[in-house]
Copies of this chain bind each other. A is one copy, B any other.
Amino acid sequence: MSAAVSGWQITGHTRLFGILADPVTHVRTPMVFNAFFREHGIDAVLVPIEVPPDRLAALLDGLRAMTNLAGFVVTIPHKTAVAGLCDEISREGRLIGAVNTVRREHDGRLVGTMFDGVGFVAGLRRKGHDPRGRRVYLAGAGGAASAVAFALADAGVARLTLFNRTAAKAADLAARLRAAHPGVEVALGSADPSGHAIAINGTSLGLKPGDALPFDVARLGPDSVVAEVVMNPETTALLAAAAARGCPVHLGRHMIEEQIRLMADFIWA
């Protein structure tokens, strides 16, 4: 670690990490990772990389060419596409069909895996909302929602109800969950989350001002926990509506807070 006025500076020896997103302005990952690097005396820096979906393949070829790149985090809307572009992906990544963490091997090969679901469930547990044996409702069937769904099934939920605007995607996710976890009851639901102890937004709704609510929070009683995968704004319209009803809320950032050690270990493995 180099000395500097601020106690931390980027030199030619500093290893690179990225966070791939589009748009990238809302991401919290640089602050979280760079604070982690500083605290642990790791000479590395994570920077935002904005890339449109139609340029993703070219970007990954460019990242393969960067010999001082250690790896990168992937977020909306790239998690599914990056899974298809990696040279190798983990069992979790294949099951979910999406990755959020990619390691660059010394020969330039990109190896992807998915920690969103594991991190989300760890965050629920840390905040006292263990999903084991509970009825859980999940909106979304994309990369983040799939990861959360598989991790919830793995954590032993009593029932998992899926809702997605494009119903075929939810049905496909349900079929894959039932195949991998025959002991878990998986149902297809509507925008009405009533009858569930935990209701989770696994879509990107809430990221942009004026987004519709991902589900009808007015149908929930005050005992139901309402949880987010959206990290910015910290209090989405969904969480504000849930808090107004007296529901306990669970922030999107807890998902990434639990993942940082998993990601760092994977990339340096």
B49–A66 CB distance below 8 A: yes
Interface size class of A (residues with CB under 8 A): 35 or more
Contacts of A35 in B (CB 8 A): 5
CA distance A172 to B22 in the complex (A): 47
* Residue interface mask A48-61, B partner, CB < 8 A = 1: 11111001101111
CB distance from A221 to the nearest CB of B (A): 36
B6–A68 CB distance below 8 A: no
Tell me the residues in window 132-164 of chain A with beta carbons closer than 8 Å to chain B beta carbons: none
Contacts of A240 in B (CB 8 A): none
Partner of A30, one of B14, B21, B24: B14
CB distance from A77 to the nearest CB of B (A): 14
B10–A45 CB distance below 8 A: yes
Contacts of A67 in B (CB 8 A): 22, 50-52
* Residue interface mask A39-52, B partner, CB < 8 A = 1: 00000011111111
CA distance A38 to B45 in the complex (A): 16
CB distance from A185 to the nearest CB of B (A): 39
A51–B24 CB distance below 8 A: no
Contacts of A38 in B (CB 8 A): 6
Whether, in the assembled complex, A264 has its beta carbon less than 8 Å from a beta carbon of chain B, the answer is no
CA distance A31 to B66 in the complex (A): 20
Tell me the residues in window 62-86 of chain A with beta carbons closer than 8 Å to chain B beta carbons: 62-68
In the complex with contacts A45-B47, A48-B16, A68-B24, A8-B10 CB distance below 8 A: no
CA distance A95 to B55 in the complex (A): 32
Interface CB pairs A-B, < 8 A, 17: A6-B7, A6-B8, A6-B38, A10-B31, A10-B48, A11-B27, A12-B30, A14-B47, A14-B48, A16-B47, A16-B49, A47-B47, A49-B66, A50-B68, A51-B67, A52-B67, A61-B62
Given A10-B34, A50-B66, A62-B66, 8 more A-B residue pairs with CB atoms under 8 Å apart are A10-B30, A10-B46, A12-B25, A13-B25, A55-B108, A58-B65, A59-B62, A62-B65
